[in-house]
Amino acid sequence: MGVIQRQGLKSMVVNFLGAFVGVFATLYVYTSNDEIYGYAQFLYSVALFFMPFATLGVLSLVVKYFPQFSKSDSKNYNGFLSLLSLSLLGFFAVFSILFLLFKDSIYILLDSVKMKSAALDGSESVFLSITFFLILSYFLTYHSVNKLRTVVPTILNQLGFKIFLPLLILAYAYWGFGRIAFGYAIAAFFLGISIVLLFYLRSIDGLKFGRIKKPNSDFSFIEMAKYALYGCLNQFGNTLAFRLDTIMIALILTDADVSFYIKAFVFTSFIEMPLRAFNQIASPILSKAWNDNNMSELKNVYQKTSVNLFVTGCFLFLGLWYSLNDLVNISADPTKFPHVELIFLLLGLSKLMDMAASVNNLIIAFSKFYKYNLIFLIFLGVSNLLMNFYLIPEYGIVGAAIATSISLFMYNLIKLLFIIYKFKLQPFTSSTIKTLILFLVVFVLYFVIPFNFSPFINIIVKSIFVAVVYLPIAYFWNISMDINKLVAVTKNKLVSRLWK
Sequence-distant (≥ 6) Cβ neighbours of residue 258 within 8 angstroms: 37, 38, 39, 41, 42, 246, 249, 250
CA distance 83 to 56: 14
pLDDT value for 371: 83
Residue 92 pLDDT exceeds 90: yes
Nearest to 123 by CA among 210, 67, 11, 47: 47
Q: What percent of the chain has pLDDT over 70?
A: 94
Q: Is the pTM for the entire model greater than 0.75?
A: yes
Reading phi first (left if > 0) and then psi (alpha if -120 to 50, else beta), residue 338 is in beta
Q: Which of 226, 181, 160, 186 is nearest to 45 (CA)?
A: 186
What CA–CA distance (Å, rounded) separates 309 from 432? 10
Q: What is the pLDDT of residue 3?
A: 45
* Residues near 388 by beta carbon (within 8 Å), at least 6 away in sequence: 244, 245, 248, 399, 400, 403, 404
- 401-441: pLDDT as tens digits: 999 999 889 989 999 999 999 999 999 999 999 999 999 99
402 to each of 9, 85, 257, 332, how far by Cα in Å? 34, 40, 15, 27
**Which helix (DSSP H) or strand (DSSP E) does residue 336 occupy?**
none
Q: How many CB atoms lie within 10 A of CB 20?
A: 11
Contacts for 369 with CB less than 8 Å, ≥ 6 apart? 418, 422
pLDDT at 9: 53
pLDDT tens digits, 193-242: 999 999 988 888 777 787 888 878 788 888 888 888 888 888 888 888 77
| Torsion sign, CA atoms 456, 462, 468, 470 | negative
The pLDDT of residue 277 is above 50:
yes
